[in-house]
Amino acid sequence: MYKYKVSILGTGFIGLCSAACFSNKGIKVLASTHNEKKAKLINDGKAPFFEANLQEIMDDVKKNNSDLLQCLTDPVKAVLETDISMITQGTPMRDDKSIDLGFIESTAREIGEALKTKDKYHLIVVRSTVVPGTTRNLVGKIITEISGKEPGKDFGLCMQPEFLAEGRSIEDTLHPDRIVIGGVDKRSGDMLQEFYEYFYGDHLQNCPILRMNLESAELVKYGNNCLLSTKISYANEFANFAELVPNVDIAQVMAGVGLDYRLNSRFLNAGVGFGGSCFHKDVNAIKAWSKSKGYTSRLLEAVLGINDDQAIHIVDMAEELVGKLAGKKVTLLGLAFKPGTDDMREAASIRVVDELLKRGVTDIIGYDPKANETAEVEMGDKLKYAKSITEALNDSECTLLITEWDEFKKLTPDDFKKQMKTPNLVDGRRIYDYEKFNNALPFKAIGRVNLD
């Protein structure tokens, strides 16, 4: 067993994927959650949510190292019995779109309680996404207030942003492209670096460890998510430019742009807009944070505005094809914010449904291979939920493709023609061959218009 034991405070995507991967590598992990049901599932070796390969790693741990992963409902105990504590709590968006640090604050209090009675040096690592200053001025200060201990002297304090994407959480945890370590002092950063040198071993030959201060590390995460969101809104803006000229194709344009050695082609896919648990939350959080410091971001305002407008734009495209949609039956193929997940947070489908309702469309039916149930929790009876593609298309007068699931990619123009009342199709993710579909049925696609 590795010399440092680790407590993971928070058992969401970041926390549980780390806990499972660490323990699978011979590290003793005490995870902690206040949710007793979740703790029991984890202790029974069951992943409490779906994430690719998580269950497999948990099965391996159960088979080979079952005593190395334990989940408690007592964070104070978890901290007391370990050497390193990682804070992996959520940082949701408040109603005013600023960051809600409530879970971070209460976890810092629990750590403070634990450190009050602990004499040995302990390292605290914030891995949640937090606005600059939070690790030092909130987490560090609360721990000091409660425990009477000093950061950089009695305990170590680091900030290590996490870049994992849903559906790739295990892969991203095992093979990151860099590790960013912000430290309150050298000793804190050295201890975390030593831990990762053990955990990653040879992988570090292709994965630099960057050392910096706490605030820079906090800002790296926002820099990352804001640039990715900006790339998407930039591609969407150019899709709108492309639609001003017949036969210009945004997919070809972005392929040409992305091959520049200074750029890359990832996150340049134009579409109906980004969703997910991070992009909106983080772009809004850093925007609100900078505003609170007296700086108004024009760039991020535009990134969010362009994204919101894509949902309106796809409905405009549908009306150009069909005429007024009010009174007609409309189908949404795909509801989740991206393929491979049932996550509905900030999904483009929500904005599209709201826009359809605003225009008086009441007969909306959606189908998603995985997200029907979560969509119903999110959107209730704003629409009906089909159990299959066939049911979704049946009798419909216009289909909007919202999420690029593989099963939708297999559909042919005939599938729409046979099953819909009038086979109007708008491709919101550019998954269909433009020429083929445009020649076969009334068709529109983001980022391209044909010559009439």
Q: Which residues bind ligand UDX (CB under 6 A)?
A: 163-166, 225, 228, 232, 267-269, 271, 274-279, 337-338
Q: Minimum Å distance from CB 225 to ligand UDX? A: 6
Tell me how far apart the alpha carbons of residues 70 and 28 are, in angstroms, rounded to a whole number.
8
Rounded Cα distance, 193 and 179, in Å: 9
Q: Decide whether 22 or 163 has the Cβ nearer to ligand UDX.
A: 163
Pull the structure tokens for residue 5: 């034991």
| Radius of gyration, alpha carbons of the chain | 24
> Closest CB to ligand UDX among 21 and 164?
164
Residue of 17, 21, 71, 278 marked catalytic: 278
Is 207 catalytic? The answer is no
Distances in Å between the Cα of 315 and the Cα atoms of 83, 202, 227, 402, 432 are 54, 50, 27, 11, 18
Query: For residues 160 and 419, which CB has a smaller minimum distance to ligand UDX in the complex?
Result: 160
Tell me if 334 sits within 8 A of 401, measured CB to CB: yes
Determine phi and psi for 387, rounding to 5 degrees: -90, -10
Query: Token digits for 346?
Result: 């900030």
Residue 98 and residue 21 in contact, taking contact as beta carbons nearer than 8 Å: no
Nearest approach, Cβ of 186 to ligand UDX (angstroms)?
27
The Cα–Cα gap between 378 and 249 comes to: 34
Q: Specify the residue, 66 or 206, whose C-beta has the smaller distance to ligand UDX.
A: 206
Residue nearest to ligand UDX (CB): 276
**Of 371, 359, 380, nearest to 402 (Cα)?**
371
**Among residues 151 and 161, whose Cβ is nearest to ligand UDX?**
161
Task: Tell me how far, at minimum, the Cβ of 36 lies from ligand UDX, in Å.
Answer: 28
Q: Which residue has the tokens 């690790």?
A: 135
- Please report which residue ranges of 81-148 form alpha helices under DSSP H: 102-116, 134, 141-147
Least distance from ligand UDX to the Cβ atom of residue 86, Å: 16
CA nearest neighbour of 140 among 182, 179, 98: 182
Q: How far is the CB of 372 from ligand UDX (least distance, A)?
A: 18
Q: Annotated active-site positions, please?
A: 278
